[in-house]
A = this chain, B = another copy of it.
Amino acid sequence: VDDRELLQDVMAIIGKDQCLDDCAVLPYGDDYLVATTDMLHETTDFPPGMTNWQAGWMSAAVTISDIASMGAIPAYLLIAVGLDRWERLREIMQGAKDCCDRYGTAIVGGDIDRHGELTVVTTGLGRVEKDRIVRRCGSRVGDAICITGTTGQAQAALEGFHLHDTALFEPQPRVREGRVLGAAGATSMMDISDGIALSLYDLLTANDCGYSIRTVLLPLPGEVPEAAAREMALFGGGDYELIFTCPKNRLPVSGVEYHVIGDVIADHEVLADGRPLEKRGYQHRWE
């Protein structure tokens, strides 16, 4: 069983609409409040060699990335820390604080717990104008499929290409890019936390159309052999770039570094180079 299968159970209980986007979307005066929560823990999320400061940074970054992916401005963060050793807390909090400071976010609350395994849960709140929000739903046939930055870097670092260690250990959420893309008319968007392939399948779940990419268009992590680099970009996790769709007459979007990697198509399927793309990537699994 994997996490996307379990999500079906959750949808049956709390409703499908609550499960489609990177953030919940709530009324907030004339704007929307967006809210999201992420659980990270040592064995599956904090790679060997990561410092406590980086664990704190990453915990804040992944949640700020979810807010960025809605075209929203991050505002507030709550952080619950389950600590195996109390000595780790100060550096973890400082890392989270430094990441929040970088992105204009205030840490407003939290919880401290004793835990057998370091576990950090961050909850983020952000704000977005109603005409600038971008959801997973909204792709239109003929739109270009685009990604910010270069994916596959985090996976490359995990596989020993240390040139990319910073991408893995200190992800930079694309807040400014998300804001620009929302204003520029992006029709759908999410962050690529689990690889391009799973992100395309997540978009497929939220839309009636389909997605066709050409792998030759993928920007690839440097110093990695090409076939391996393509595998990392499609199926590796931990990148926190944005994937978005945009009408071609709205391109180019100035002020954002991005690559066009394919087209939104009418058929409800995900294709790479004309063939069905394997549905595989970073997932939690249970036996």
Contacts and interface: CB of A to CB of B under 8 A. Distances in A.
Interface of A: 1, 3, 6-7, 9-10, 13-14, 18-19, 23-24, 26, 28-29, 33, 35-41, 43-44, 76, 78-83, 85-86, 89-90, 93-94, 97, 107-117, 119, 121, 123, 125, 284-286
B284 A109 contact: no
Contact of A93 (B14, B86, B113): B14
Contacts of A114: 3, 44, 284-286
A18 B105 CA distance: 13
Contacts of A115: 39, 41, 117, 119
B112 A14 contact: no
Given A39-B115, A119-B119, 5 more contacts: A14-B93, A26-B108, A35-B109, A36-B109, A38-B111
A18 B111 CA distance: 11
Contact of A284 (B3, B23, B113, B284): B113
B112 A6 contact: yes
A1 B13 CA distance: 40
The 7 A-B residue pairs whose C-beta atoms are closest, nearest first, are A24-B108, A24-B109, A86-B286, A121-B121, A114-B284, A123-B123, A39-B80
A127 B132 CA distance: 25
A265 B125 CA distance: 39
A123 B284 contact: no
Contacts of A19: 109
A77 to B, nearest CB: 10
